[in-house]
Amino acid sequence: MRIRKIYLAAALLACPSLLMMCTKPSPFNEEDYDPRLSGGAATVFDATSKAFGNVIPGLSNYDQHVHDLGDNSVDQTFVTAPATINSGLGPIFNNVSCRSCHHNDGKGSPTTGTVTSSMLMRLSIPGTDAHGGPVAVPGYGLQLQDLAVFGKTAEASVKITYTEQVYTYPDGTVTTLRKPTYTFVNPYIAMPVDLMVSPRMAPPFFGLGLLVNIPESTILSYADENDGNGDGISGRPNYVYDPSTDKMMLGRLGMKANTATILTQAAAAYQQDMGITSSIFPKESTFGQPQMDNLADDPELPDSLLNAVEFYLLSLAVPARRNTTDGEVMAGEKLFAQLGCSSCHIPTTQTGVNVRYPYLSNQRIHAYTDLLLHDMGDGLADGRPDFRANGSEWKTPALWGVGLFEKTNGTPFYLHDGRARTLEEAILWHDGEAAKVKAKFSQLSAGERGQVIAFLKSL
């Protein structure tokens, strides 16, 4: 009996091994993936006005605590120094808190000068600085601050006007495109004649942790700087100086991929948008200017809070796609690929392995971007280089969540400066490398164009 028991035990132990030997590892079939999971495991099912402000599911208690601390920090309104809390606003600034520009953790409004404004103006003069970046304008720096604390003078205010341009499709359908013009009013000192200006509207917060976790080798594999395949689309990486690491790195964030890390992105926004110094940018944005406050209170933002804000931005989840089985949406998705949109707005990417953050690690995501620079033509050109990006190049923006802007923002605004009021208008502003794609879109029937828009609204 003892021998039989040994044989039985050995057989039971062998069964799992035999079963494992019968299953060979292999990739999932495409149809086995849920297309709604735009952020892989970092996806949440929320299609409300708060869809961009959800934490990634499954954080540890400690990570959740840090996320909540960062969440609270981006809500804080800063005030004039000295003050007992949230001290250090300005002396010149664009807004008073992070969420004043990033409404509901998303985009904002293409206006300036109010507590709900989300537009800013990057400035520079010709040439490059010691790191290959843009050259600051004497007396103004790299960004125009259009507001000031009591007793100080703002650098200038900005007047934005629009003109309507008629666009007629080959089928006779007529629509209009809105072209902005920016005028600086009451500059506190004369501006140089060779001033270069780039308007930028606040981008959404969510999904950044996944984007910075895409392997550099993957992004570089999308590049075709000399258009070797002859499809008219080049795509090239931007390499930028990162002050938090003191080295040149691949740019992933910002409209021109001019920022490499979330930490630098957050610290730069504190310093340039609100005048709040940190260990990354310890000098006031007014350094060397008459608005300088000369207080010995720098850095004004503790590293603990800056790091919490960095983690908050890293750990915001991506909203799931909607209506993925709808016939119009599915037809639009096919057209999106057939037109060539997916050559730059690459639908599917795999993030790299990240032991510290398993919810960002090895995720199959649908960001619809290659994170590369592309020439978008004269209509969208700002004429202001930013590291390797020239004056007509912009980074392919991620499209996940683009269909929710109407809910999160009220009135949606698209493109780098918010000029486009609809997704159709945003498509029709494409030119340069995207001119052929736009022409193909224009040749579609009205119903087919509607299918493409329906697909985009499902993202």
DSSP string computed for 185-218:
ES-SSPPPTT-EEEEEEPPP-TTHHHHTTS-HHH
Indicate if the alpha-carbon torsion angle 35, 40, 41, 46 is positive or negative: negative
Predicted pLDDT of residue 10: 47
Ordered per-residue pLDDT tens for the chain, 459 residues: 444 554 444 444 444 444 445 556 566 676 778 999 999 999 999 999 999 999 999 999 999 999 999 999 999 999 999 999 999 999 999 999 999 999 999 888 999 999 899 999 999 999 999 999 999 999 999 999 999 999 999 999 999 999 999 999 999 999 999 999 999 999 999 999 999 999 999 999 999 999 999 999 999 999 999 999 988 999 999 999 999 999 999 999 999 999 999 999 999 999 999 999 999 999 999 999 999 998 999 999 999 999 999 999 999 999 999 999 999 999 999 999 999 999 999 999 999 999 999 999 999 999 999 999 999 999 999 999 999 999 999 999 999 999 999 999 888 999 999 999 999 999 999 999 999 999 999 999 999 999 999 999 999
Beta strands in 36-78 (DSSP E): 43-44
* pLDDT, position 50: 95
Rounded to the nearest 10 degrees, the angle between the axes of helix 435-443 and helix 327-339 is 140
Other Cβ atoms closer than 10 A to 115: 11
Q: How far apart are CA 66 and CA 308, in angstroms?
A: 6
Residue 4 lies in a domain: no
Q: Is residue 254 part of a domain?
A: yes
- Per the domain annotation, does 23 fall within a domain? no
Is residue 334 situated within a structural domain?
yes
- 197 touches 182 (CB < 8 A): yes
| Helix, coil or strand: residue 365 | strand
Q: Which helix (H) or strand (E) holds 413?
A: none
CB atoms within 10 A of CB 170: 9
DSSP assignment of 224-281, as one string?
-TT-TT-SS---B--EEEETTTTEEEE--BSTTS-B--HHHHHHHHIIIII----SSS
Is there a domain that residue 144 lies in? yes
3-state helix, strand, coil in the chain (%, to 5): 30, 20, 50
Tally the domains of the chain: 1
Residue 20 falls within a domain, yes or no? Answer: no
pLDDT for position 28: 63
- How far is it, in rounded angstroms, from Cα 349 to Cα 171? 36
Owning domain of residue 237: 30-458
Assess if residue 3 is contained within a domain. no
Distance CA 349, CA 314 (A): 18
Question: Does residue 5 form part of some domain?
Answer: no
